[in-house]
Amino acid sequence: MARTLGDVILSVESISLAFGGVKALTDISFDVREHEIRAIIGPNGAGKSSMLNVINGVYVPQAGKVTLRGRTFSHMEPHEVALAGIARTFQSLALFKGMSVLDNIMTGRNLRMKSGLLAQALRLGPAEREEIEHRRVCERIIDFLEIQAYRKVPVGRLPYGLQKRVDLGRALAMEPSILLLDEPMAGMNTEEKQDMSRFVLDVNDEFGTTIVLIEHDMGVVMDISDRVVVLDYGRKIGDGPPDEVRANEEVIRAYLGTSH
Amino acid sequence: MNARNLPVTLLLALLAVGMVLPLFQAGTATGFWLEVLIGGLMAGVLYALVALGFVLIFKASGVFNFAQGAMVLFAALSLARLSEVMPLWLAFVLSALIMVAFAWLVERLVLRRLVNQEGVTLLMATLGIAFFLDGFGQTIWGSEIYRIDLGLSKEPMLVLQSVFQGGLLLNRDDILAAVIATLLVLLLALFFQKTATGRALRAVADDHQAAQSVGIPLSTIWVIVWSVAGFVALVAGMVWGSKLGVQFSLQETALRALPVVILGGFTSVPGAIIGGLIIGVGEKMAEVFLSPILVRAFDLAGGGIENWFAYVLALLFLLVRPEGLFGERHIDRV
């Protein structure tokens, strides 16, 4: 994959995170370049999800800092992270189960809605136009993810693979500049994994979205990522293009050696 | 039919039969039975309004708000005392603003600091808020019985004289209460289903973490939901206070909303309304028709079924369907 990557858009420096006496992350640093697909891999319990939750603002690290487009912060609230243009999906589905597919995706537009409450409730002119505009964006995403047939179905009734797509759709509706994906292929069969890989590549390609991807399954990740960070027991043991990481002795010992 | 539904179906059928049976009892006029039914429905509407406040807060924040009854009393007191010195509509607007300020304070001083604590901790916190609000309400508004005058004639209306012997006696304030409650429920439905804020509230109710990830700030949502619950409390307090007078016992009656939410389900808005109506009608019917039979049969000292009927019914529901009629069933993976 000969692609030219942009400038560094997001970087984490010397992040350490502990829960009580348990060290989840120790002194982790890496950067993410614009338009790239950046993977974070590692065995179970390596601290991948913790890393994502630090970037997302859910966990506050004891040490280290996150820099987003030159702005450094030690902690942002999750909704501030969303405002800054970072969207995410969840490993264990966190959808709004009682709401329809369309409504779920529409929540991704909430931040951009400007009309007042009363205007929305009564469907006054400008509010109506705004709603239609947002609806159009959501319909494009629904088409893109090929879930047209389910737009009115409550999400809780959809099969797992489709719920994962809705989760992605909700994140895309925010039109994020960075998309964090937490094990998007977990629990999927081969066909579903291929579909999801295609969606991830298309998002990256068509919208130019920078993607940070956590995966347990090495095969898929190696195929679609530009650069890979490898974590093991909360430490970084490898960082580089897929081929380089694949050849790294420590990675082979820690990861491939034990689980394959 | 699902075998799990059998006990609850039986229980509901038994209730329905018990309510209709007096019609066939010798000496019960149809008009009188209807009056009891309507009286029960009116009480039920008020229970439903308080229960609605419980459900809104429980859905959005998982907090079991013990202070909902105290909020009804406090809102009613504010409205009653303010309306003594200004027109009713202005007093209503000011009281609504007071409830919003209260919601903001609760979020700032209590919820924000207790986020992610155990449910019991939050319950104790709302218990504290309830007692504070009771006392503080008396401190600033006084502890007498106050009136809220909606400007209606207290003279009951006699309707349907041609259909039943003796006709039907209806209170004007009861009818107004039903109209106001219906409007409020419609307003809430519109708010929740048609506005972006409503969508955000539903999103938070479903999943906190996911809601935050799309940029919904939890603290703002909590202020909004407590404000809405405060507004519902104000409407309930106004209707109730105009009927019975604003006094401390309002808060006890408001606790009747507990059995209502057990019946309807903690997370269901329709459940709060239907549960409220079932309990309202059930306890009135039991008091009027069942009580005399029991007193005669067992030579008891008095009735008083109205005071415990709702709680016994809730207990039975806990045994056969702990999640309530419309609540979400929790299945934990072991």
Rounded to whole angstroms, the Cα distance separating A217 from A183 reads: 9
Look up residue A115 and give its two tokens.
Answer: 């009309």
Is residue A94 within 8 angstroms of chain B, CB to CB? Answer: yes
The encoded tokens of residue B156 equal 């009951």
Taking the model in full, what pTM does it have?
0.80
Helices (H), A8-70: 48-56
Where are chain A's structural domains? 1-85+177-260, 97-175
Mean pLDDT (chain A) is 85
Tell me which residues of chain B, numbers 192 to 231, contact chain A at a CB-CB cutoff of 8 Å: 194-197, 199-200, 202-203, 205-207, 209-218
Q: Which of B190, B206, B213 to mutate to test the interface with A (most CBs of A within 10 A)?
A: B213
CA B232/CA B188 separation, integer angstroms: 9
Chain B residue with minimum CA distance to A118? B195
**Alpha carbon distance A5, A225 (integer Å):** 12
pLDDT of residue B84: 92
Identify the CATH homologous superfamily for domain A1-85+177-260. P-loop containing nucleotide triphosphate hydrolases (3.40.50.300)
Among the partner-chain residues A106, A123, A173, the one whose CB lies closest to the CB of B199 is A106
d(C-alpha A191, C-alpha A195), whole Å: 6
How high is the pLDDT of residue A117?
Answer: 61
* Residue boundaries of the structural domains of chain B: 51-149+168-255, 263-327
Q: A64-81 pLDDT, tens per residue? A: 889 988 888 777 888 888
Q: What pLDDT, on the 0 to 100 scale, is given for residue A257?
A: 60
What residue in A sits closest to B200 (Cα-Cα)?
A107
Least confident of A20-34, A50-64, B158-172, B259-273: B158-172
User: Long-range contacts for A139-143 (Cβ within 8 Å, ≥24 apart)?
Assistant: A141/A105, A141/A169, A141/A172, A141/A173, A142/A101, A142/A102, A142/A105, A142/A169
A56 touches B at CB < 8 Å: yes
d(CA B323, CA B320) in angstroms, rounded, equals 9
On average, the pLDDT of chain B sits at: 85
pLDDT tens figures, B267-299: 888 889 999 999 999 999 988 888 888 888 887
pLDDT value at residue A3: 62
Q: Which long-range contacts (CB under 8 A, 24 or more apart) does A140-147 make?
A: A141/A105, A141/A169, A141/A172, A141/A173, A142/A101, A142/A102, A142/A105, A142/A169, A144/A172, A144/A199, A144/A202, A145/A169, A145/A172, A145/A199, A147/A101
> B206-243 pLDDT, tens per residue?
888 888 888 888 888 889 999 999 999 999 999 888 88
Q: What is the mean pLDDT of residues A41-66?
A: 88
H-helix or E-strand spanning residue B105: helix B88-109
- Provide the pLDDT for residue B280: 92
Query: In this structure, what token pair is assigned to residue B307?
Result: 């005071």
pLDDT in tens, A121-168: 666 677 778 888 888 989 999 999 999 999 899 888 888 888 999 999
Query: What's the confidence (pLDDT) of residue B87?
Result: 93
Confidence of residue B334 (pLDDT cuts 50, 70, 90): very low
Structure tokens at B100: 């919003």
